[in-house]
Amino acid sequence: MTPLHDRIRAVVWRENALELLDQRQLPGALLYRRLTDAAEVAKAIQDMVVRGAPAIGIAAAYGVVLAARARHVESPDHWRERIGDDLAALAAARPTAVNLVWALRRMERVIAQTAGDPAERLLTEARMIHEEDIAANRRMGGLGAALLGARGAVLTHCNAGALATGGYGTALGVIRRGYEQGLIERVYADETRPWLQGARLTAWELAEDGIPVTLLADGAAAALMQCGRVRWVIVGADRIAANGDVANKIGTYGLAVAARYHGVRFMVVAPTSTVDMHIPNGAAIPIEQRAAEELLTLGGQPVAAAGAEVWNPSFDVTPAALVDALVTERGVALAPDAEKMARLMAT
């Protein structure tokens, strides 16, 4: 049975092709792009047709299916050698989101074990990755909602909902479950410059599911906390280091600092596929630098002074010391540290 407030799917496999909801067009248009080869999938990931670490991984897995099908047709006896370039292109599309490489490694294991036409076995694995993500999100929703306590409002940043995952969402999965249980009365959503994922995606997603949402400028979040309007900040993650440091959309670190000062609790919600135990701490997480035009223009129109230089990291790192709760499908780590992360990942 589909839970309440869960109608949105951004990644769909249909009739032997991958269909991605073009998130650049939201909320103005609901447009699915039909992709039939791995190069198109890699470009869609890079260009942010699809975004959000879990959704990127799922899209990449389906991209491997498309690549394997094409390479096997070209060369039935040598498709394994030829698929290497496709895997590399997919892996390079977004360097920070560890789910991308995690999903590709799962697909590579199937490739190594497959003789003959690989398409059907790889499609089964990709669908499994997709279904496991949705199930994990629903479990995290319940675990995170159990931490909320008394009814109140929450603040979220960027989009960690159904649009960023296989479905239901990570941070928004907790919010969906909390709202269903009467624990959340309202969601405040940061606009999330420069791509405005909060304004365009989170506000749209929550409004579509009938959850009260109030949009605010990124710079207004600390004042909102100062007014006592929120009890929790709830965010997702793109990569989590072995010590519990969290890389997430730029602006998350500032929220965590403000939350700690104002006594607002800070929750990170992410599947264990986002945890990279090979990265000792946040300083070792590669941070993607995006194009200057994302800050210099808006909707194709210049908004900055000519000659201004740009620093445009897509993510920042929140130290584990500022995280009150890390929620995964395997369980919850309160005040995460290296020891707690090791126990969690050994579960």
What are the tens digits of pLDDT across the range 37-64?
999 999 999 999 999 889 999 999 999 9
Catalytic site includes residue 77? no
Within this chain, do residues 247 and 157 fall inside the same structural domain, yes or no?
Answer: yes
Share of the chain above pLDDT 70, in %: 99
Within this chain, do residues 307 and 186 fall inside the same structural domain, yes or no?
Answer: yes
Output the domain CATH number for residue 225: 3.40.50.10470
Within this chain, do residues 160 and 86 fall inside the same structural domain, yes or no?
Answer: no
- Structural domain of residue 287, as residue ranges? 139-346
Q: Is the pLDDT of residue 333 over 70?
A: yes
**What's the pLDDT band for 314 if we cut at 50, 70, 90?**
very high
Helix 84-91, helix 98-113: angle, nearest 10: 160
Within this chain, do residues 308 and 163 fall inside the same structural domain, yes or no?
Answer: yes
**pLDDT value at position 76?**
87
User: pLDDT for 7-28, tens place per residue?
Assistant: 789 999 999 999 999 999 999 9
Assess contact for 38 and 51: CB atoms under 8 A. Answer: no
Flag whether 6 is in a domain.
Answer: no
Within this chain, do residues 22 and 154 fall inside the same structural domain, yes or no?
Answer: no
Within this chain, do residues 55 and 20 fall inside the same structural domain, yes or no?
Answer: yes
Within this chain, do residues 120 and 198 fall inside the same structural domain, yes or no?
Answer: no
Average pLDDT over residues 270-285: 96
**What's the pLDDT band for 1 if we cut at 50, 70, 90?**
very low
Q: Which among 136, 158, 179 is the end of a domain?
A: 136
Average pLDDT, the chain: 95
Flag whether 62 is in a domain.
Answer: yes
Q: Which among 102, 136, 170 is the end of a domain?
A: 136
Share of the chain above pLDDT 90, in %: 90
Helix 38-46, helix 53-74: angle, nearest 10: 160
Within this chain, do residues 161 and 125 fall inside the same structural domain, yes or no?
Answer: no
Flag whether 3 is in a domain.
Answer: no
Candidates 86, 133, 218, 238; catalytic one: 238
Work out the number of other CB atoms within 10 angstroms of the CB of residue 318. Answer: 26
Within this chain, do residues 72 and 177 fall inside the same structural domain, yes or no?
Answer: no
Q: 194 preceded by cis ω (within 30°)? A: yes
User: pLDDT for 145-198, tens place per residue?
Assistant: 999 999 999 999 999 999 999 999 999 999 999 999 999 999 999 999 999 999
The domain total for the chain is: 2
Average pLDDT over residues 226-239: 97
Work out the number of other CB atoms within 10 angstroms of the CB of residue 234. Answer: 29
Flag whether 1 is in a domain.
Answer: no
**pLDDT value at position 158?**
97
Flag whether 245 is in a domain.
Answer: yes
Within this chain, do residues 154 and 99 fall inside the same structural domain, yes or no?
Answer: no
User: pLDDT for 295-306, tens place per residue?
Assistant: 999 888 999 999
Q: Is the pLDDT of residue 250 over 60?
A: yes
Flag whether 302 is in a domain.
Answer: yes
**pLDDT value at position 4?**
57
How are beta strands 246-249 and 297-298 bridged, if at all?
unpaired
Beta bridge partners of 328: 331
Output the domain CATH number for residue 70: 1.20.120.420
**pLDDT value at position 3?**
55
**pLDDT value at position 226?**
98
